[in-house]
Amino acid sequence: MRQAIELNVNGEPHDALVDSRETLLDTLRYKLGHMGPKEGCGNGNCGACTVVLNGAVVNACLVFAVEAAGADVTTVEGVAAEGNLHPVQQAFIEHGALQCGFCTPGFIMSAKALLERNPNPSEPEIRLAISGNLCRCTGYDKIVRAIQAASQALSQTA
Amino acid sequence: MAEYSVIGTSLAKVDAPERVTGKATYGADLDLPGMLWAKLVRSPHAHARIKQIGTSRAKALPGVKAVITAHDLPPLPKGATAPLVGEVSIDMSAIREIVMASDKVRYHGQVVAAVAATDPFIAEEAAGLVDVDYEPLPVVEDVLQAMQPDAPLVHEDLHTLEEATQEKSGQPSNVSTHMVYTRGDVEAGFAAADAVVEKTYTTQMVHQGYLEPQACAARIEPNGKVTLWTSAQGHFTVRTQLVTLLGLPASQLKVVPMEIGGGFGGKALALFEPTAIVLAQKTSRPVKLVVSREEVLRATGPGAPAVITVKAGATQDGKITALTTTMRYDAGAFPGSPVARGLLVGLAPYKLDNMVAEGFDVLTNKPRVQAYRAPGGTPAAFAVEALMDALAAEIHVDPLAFRQKNAAEEGDTLPLGMPLNRIGLTQMLKQIETHPCWTTPLEGPHRGRGLALGYWIGGSFTSSAEVKINPDATASIFVGTVDLTGTRTTISQMVADELQLDPQDITITVGDTDSAPFADLSGGSRITYTMSAAAHQASQDVLTQLKERAAEKLKVSIAEVEYQAKRFWAKDDTRNEVNLAELARESVAWGSGPIIGKGSTTRMQPAHAYAAHVADVEVDPDTGKVTILRYTCFQDVGKAINPTQVEGQIQGGAVQGIGWALNEEYIFDNGELKNASLLDYRCPVALDLPMIETVLTEVPASEGPYGLRGVGEVPIVPPGAALANAIYRATGTRLYELPMNPERIFWATRGNGTNGSHGANGSGGE
């Protein structure tokens, strides 16, 4: 069964005809062309598809597209405002916090959301906040350091 | 050595901006007009004869455009091979069976058919409508059982190859190869020992755990030529296999490399691409094939498990007098486990005058293993390094001093016969002596510190680079090597220094098989090493061509032309000069045309990489849970071209090894994987880990312009034993089986459970 939905993605209104079995991730990727969120597992175990849905950090693969009707969605493509990289993105580049980069969109979303609710997180708080995101390349060390650096950068500009 | 301004700095990854913004394009991100979605049909049996496959119900489903079985693949002569790397070939008839089984399935999840449909839901439904009639056969799952003469045969016509004599056994067997390497007199060696320890160690099948499931897409162009997009570790390697498998000339097959979301050895073979191409040929539409995470875990090819016996003797003063080992590696359903690499890696850190090293490549009804970072090395080092720790304890010698006393040096001969060129093992061990991770007392109950060594031979094979000078005096680098780990960045750094250009003025492209110079696949820690030679040569070629043109312009001989900072001048008259911008601009205006430098290497000496890890752990006596308090990685990297990237490689490899050591294992029931999700197959998450400290030793490799060594593989090798040895000091109990999860430690510390159930090790400390 198909259903027409409307949703805002990164501030832009969209409509899409979606299959009732289709996930928000499928819609974002294949109907709306937002290939930033990745599918690493399809069942909420890896976090590569992390987006912000009406202010909540979610795995887009665990949300049916029809559930997102009328929602505001932010994907990794919406993080850099007017082409300027967000301090979290900048810190990931400067601290070597990515290798293959497949998990990176999810980490950026989780890290940005963490710093918005807790601008000065401790190392254990950072590790907890990203524990739903799997990375197989970095061993997390440089990701944690990048988030620490982004926290400092944000507090200096605040 | 020359002074460099870009080499040795932590230049940010040149491809980072597109990755942090979600713009990098991986295999699954392709969305071609008119594209169909493929879905694979997989066997629900670990061992069964295929009696019949019925495709009519699937074909009748609206939206289904094609259903194929192995009969739709072009015929292939039995035993057909294709070159893999260098002189190493792979058996393409086995690859074909993994792509699609013809008459028998040999592991649970083996592909038997494939469908292409207009959307993924229809494809999935159609896959369920393919009717396969199986005759189930007895399953052999365990490597030791598979070696028994009465074991069910995975291949009825497979005979054991005796490597030394190249003779095959009379009776069919699940042992595909048996190899023995000997040196000296082990009997005399053991007789001279004051202490001898013998133990058997077991490791489980594990997965590489790359975050990106395999993805590819194929399109048949109007002229019949095939375009294939794939996120594989080597697009030329994929093309070579497809040429054999599909009978296409290389000129009729363009393979385009996509960004790859991790490979770690698991994306080297063309296991999915043939299906996408045949479906595209059948339907005359583009076809995309993306596998699910469950399929990734079940059947894409995990890392090999092993059962390893090691026996070693030493004198009271800590000198090893003899060592024997038997390594039995599980290849899964087709030959080709990394057992020879296991023998090499496990023994390479030591001087061994008297040695017998024996290996078995064993088949079981499990998915055919694929390479996994330092393939074969992790199980071998777990066994050998845990045994060395036990032997050192037996003679009351400090584990670091014991390694120092027996450490391999330049000129020694590796266990498999190759002489060692320059290595930095001794220097690296010296650094540990005074490092706080080793000298700081570890206080508190249930805590312990462990040390283990690791080794990787470092890959060579073919790499090529082209460097072009653009008319505006910027440079473009063109390579055929997939960037797994940051190699675009390190190659750019090399060219920047060679040409004395700002890295901002250099771009690098990984080209497709029609346009880039040939390169073998990315793996084995070989790309930065071999590319250093190729990029250096290509840059020198560019400089030579530029100097020729400058000489002509300055009216001097080439030998008289000097170059620095984008300026050429005559040695004897510095005012007689021409700048790079002018030569670059003129190169396309008249004269000899554009400047294109070429560099290539097909074979370099190994750049041996040694590592040592020091782990501090605390073990919860009530639950058996291990908390890593501190983890330090020492590694001889030769020369760190980009220290941040080198550290990242070491940290990532160490954490994969930690996962293998503490958590990760395939759990089978009659050949069926029971934990085929990333929740149940538990890779380490950020909460499980401390920061991973790295200490780099830089002893230049014998070959190559910068002395670098490949760094990616070796860090996965030591963690198993480093942690096992730490757990022993925390609990008084030695663990003989990975993973050392809470349950296994809980029972082992109580003298119970399956602590190395394969060997009669007993339990408790020695």
What does the DSSP assignment read for B184-244?
S-HHHHHHT-SEEEEEEEEE--B----SSPPEEEEEE-TTS-EEEEE--S-HHHHHHHHHH
Q: What is the pLDDT of residue B753?
A: 66
Sheet containing B561-564: order of strands: B561-564, B567-570, B573-579
Q: What is the pLDDT of residue A158?
A: 67
Residues B718 and B743 in one domain: yes
For residue A104, give the nearest of B20, B651, B692 by CB distance. Answer: B20
Q: What is the pLDDT of residue B752?
A: 73
- Hey, is the C-beta of B34 within 8 angstroms of any chain A C-beta? no
Residues B473 and B543 in one domain: yes
Q: Hey, what long-range contacts does A113-119 have (CB within 8 A, 24 or more apart)?
A: A113/A52, A113/A57, A114/A147, A115/A88, A115/A147, A115/A150, A115/A151, A115/A154, A119/A151, A119/A154, A119/A155, A119/A158
Q: Which of A100, A130, A133, A147 to mutate to test the interface with B (most CBs of B within 10 A)?
A: A100
pLDDT above 90: residue B458: no
Structural domain includes residue B52:
yes
Residue B368 DSSP label: P
Instruction: Annotate B264-309 with DSSP letters as a single string.
Output: TTTT-S-SSHHHHHHHHHHHTS-EEEE--HHHHHHHS--BPPEEEE
Residues B84 and B220 in one domain: yes
Structural domain includes residue B284:
yes
Measured between CA atoms, the residue of chain A closest to residue B488 is A99
Tell if the CB–CB gap between B20 and A85 is shorter than 8 Å.
Answer: yes
Tell if the CB–CB gap between B685 and A134 is shorter than 8 Å.
Answer: yes
CB B297 within 8 A of CB B371: no
Q: What is the pLDDT of residue B751?
A: 87
For residue B261, give the nearest of A41, A89, A100 by CB distance. Answer: A100
For residue A139, give the nearest of B119, B211, B655 by CB distance. Answer: B655
Q: What digits encode the pLDDT tens for the residues B206-229? A: 999 999 999 999 999 999 999 999
B583-602 mean pLDDT: 93
- Hey, is the C-beta of B33 within 8 angstroms of any chain A C-beta? no
Q: What is the pLDDT of residue B762?
A: 47
CB B245 within 8 A of CB B92: yes
A115-144 mean pLDDT: 98
Tell if the CB–CB gap between A102 and B209 is shorter than 8 Å.
Answer: no
Structural domain includes residue B183:
no
Tell if the CB–CB gap between B656 and A93 is shorter than 8 Å.
Answer: no
For residue B22, give the nearest of A41, A76, A138 by CB distance. Answer: A76
**H or E element that contains A107:** helix A104-117
CB B375 within 8 A of CB B302: no
Q: What is the pLDDT of residue B459?
A: 82
- Six-digit token pair at B205? 């099948």
Q: What digits encode the pLDDT tens for the residues A125-135? A: 999 999 999 99
Within 8 A of B292 by CB-CB distance, chain A residues are 42
Q: What is the pLDDT of residue B90?
A: 87
ipTM of the complex: 0.98
Among B394, B207, B388, B349, which Cα is nearest to B634's?
B349
pLDDT above 70: residue B759: no
Distance CA B343, CA B350 (A): 12
Residues B317 and B445 in one domain: yes
In the stretch 280-309 of chain B, residues with CB closer than 8 A to chain A read: 292-293
Cα distance from A80 to chain B (closest Cα, Å)?
A: 7
B366-375 mean pLDDT: 97
For residue A35, give the nearest of B29, B653, B685 by CB distance. Answer: B29
Distance CA B652, CA B632 (A): 13
Cα distance from B703 to chain A (closest Cα, Å)?
A: 27
Of the residues B558, B584, B601, which one is the last residue of a structural domain?
B601
Q: What are the phi and psi torsion angles at B312 (to 5°)?
A: -145, 150
Tell if the CB–CB gap between A42 and B19 is shorter than 8 Å.
Answer: no
CB B527 within 8 A of CB B544: no
Residue type at position B243: V
Residues B633 and B736 in one domain: yes
CB B697 within 8 A of CB B611: no
Tell if the CB–CB gap between B648 and A48 is shorter than 8 Å.
Answer: no
Instruction: Annotate B668-724 with DSSP letters as a single string.
Output: EETTEES--STTTS----GGG---EEEEEE----SSSSS-----SSGGGSSHHHHHH
**H or E element that contains A25:** helix A24-26
Q: What is the pLDDT of residue B89?
A: 81
Residue tagged 């054999």 (tokens): B244
Distance of CA B572 to the CA centre of its chain: 52
B348-357, B374-383, B676-685, B754-763: the lowest-pLDDT one: B754-763
Peptide bond into B419 cis (omega under 30): no
B422-427 mean pLDDT: 98
Within 8 A of A144 by CB-CB distance, chain B residues are 686, 691
Domain count, chain B: 3
Q: What is the pLDDT of residue B756?
A: 67
Range of the domain at B506: 16-22+460-601
Tell if the CB–CB gap between B16 and A108 is shorter than 8 Å.
Answer: no
Q: What digits encode the pLDDT tens for the residues B305-347? A: 999 999 999 999 999 999 999 999 999 999 999 999 999 999 9
Domain of B286, CATH number, reads 3.90.1170.50
Tell if the CB–CB gap between A100 and B212 is shorter than 8 Å.
Answer: yes
Q: What is the pLDDT of residue B765?
A: 37
Distances (CA, A) of B334 to B46, B98, B291, B664: 13, 9, 21, 23
Of the residues B249, B276, B299, which one is the last residue of a structural domain?
B299
> From the CB of residue B19, how many other CB atoms can be counted at a distance below 10 Å?
25
Give ∠ CA B659-B661-B663 in degrees, rounded to 5: 50
Q: What digits encode the pLDDT tens for the residues B93-122? A: 999 999 999 999 999 999 999 999 999 999
B414-442 mean pLDDT: 96
Instruction: Annotate B640-672 with DSSP letters as a single string.
Output: -SSHHHHHHHHHHHHHHHHHHHHT----EETTE
Residues B372 and B509 in one domain: no
Residues B467 and B563 in one domain: yes
HSE of B719, CA atoms in CB hemisphere, 13 A: 31
A71-97 mean pLDDT: 96
Average pLDDT, chain B: 96
Within 8 A of B15 by CB-CB distance, chain A residues are 101
- Percent over 90 (pLDDT), chain B: 94
Give ∠ CA B676-A31-A112 in degrees, rounded to 5: 70
CB A89 within 8 A of CB A104: no
Residues B558 and B642 in one domain: no
Beta bridge partners of B325: B310, B357
Residues B79 and B228 in one domain: yes
Distance CA B94, CA B97 (A): 5
Residues B659 and B547 in one domain: no
Domain of B421, CATH number, reads 3.30.365.10
A14-34 mean pLDDT: 97
Among B192, B108, B107, B109, which Cα is nearest to B155's?
B107
Structural domain includes residue B10:
no
- Hey, is the C-beta of B645 within 8 angstroms of any chain A C-beta? yes
Q: What is the pLDDT of residue B129?
A: 98
Measured between CA atoms, the residue of chain B closest to residue A1 is B121
> From the CB of residue B519, how many other CB atoms can be counted at a distance below 10 Å?
28
Q: What is the pLDDT of residue B124?
A: 98
3-state secondary structure of A106: helix
Q: Is B159 exposed, middle or buried (0-12, 13-18, 19+ CB in 10 A)?
A: middle
Distance CA B556, CA B578 (A): 12
Phi-psi region of B63 (alpha: psi -120 to 50; beta: other; left: phi over 0): left
Distance CA B179, CA B280 (A): 43
Tell if the CB–CB gap between B121 and A143 is shorter than 8 Å.
Answer: no
Q: What digits encode the pLDDT tens for the residues B479-527? A: 999 999 899 999 999 999 999 999 999 999 999 999 999 999 999 899 9
- Percent over 70 (pLDDT), chain B: 98
Structural domain includes residue B184:
no
Distance CA B127, CA B661 (A): 37
Structural domain includes residue B157:
no
pLDDT above 90: residue B87: no
Distance CA B28, CA B304 (A): 27
Measured between CA atoms, the residue of chain A closest to residue B643 is A96
Distance CA B103, CA B135 (A): 11
Within 8 A of B29 by CB-CB distance, chain A residues are 29, 35
CB B94 within 8 A of CB B368: yes
Q: What is the pLDDT of residue B637?
A: 98
Q: What is the pLDDT of residue B1?
A: 46
- Residue B78's pLDDT band, with cuts at 50, 70 and 90, is confident
Residues B133 and B52 in one domain: yes
Q: Domains of chain A (ranges plus CATH)?
A: 2-78 (3.10.20.30), 87-157 (1.10.150.120)
Q: Which of B19, B36, B373 to mutate to test the interface with A (most CBs of A within 10 A)?
A: B19
Q: Which residues contact A101 (CB under 8 A, 6 or more apart)?
A: B15, B16, B19, B20, B24, B259, B261
Q: For B425-453, b where at least 16 C-beta lie within 10 A, e where not — what string?
A: bbebbebbeeeebbeeebeeeebbbbbbb
Structural domain includes residue B207:
no
For residue A19, give the nearest of B121, B677, B684 by CB distance. Answer: B121
Residues B621 and B634 in one domain: yes
SS3 content of chain A, % helix, strand, coil (to 5): 40, 20, 40
Distances (CA, A) of B610 to B361, B424, B531, B725: 26, 7, 21, 19
Within 8 A of A106 by CB-CB distance, chain B residues are none
Q: What is the pLDDT of residue B764?
A: 37
Tell if the CB–CB gap between A96 and B656 is shorter than 8 Å.
Answer: no
Q: What is the pLDDT of residue B264?
A: 97
Q: Which residues contact A33 (CB under 8 A, 6 or more apart)?
A: B31
For residue A35, give the nearest of B22, B485, B685 by CB distance. Answer: B22
Of the residues B551, B584, B601, which one is the last residue of a structural domain?
B601
In the stretch 12-31 of chain B, residues with CB closer than 8 A to chain A read: 12-13, 15-17, 19-26, 28-29, 31
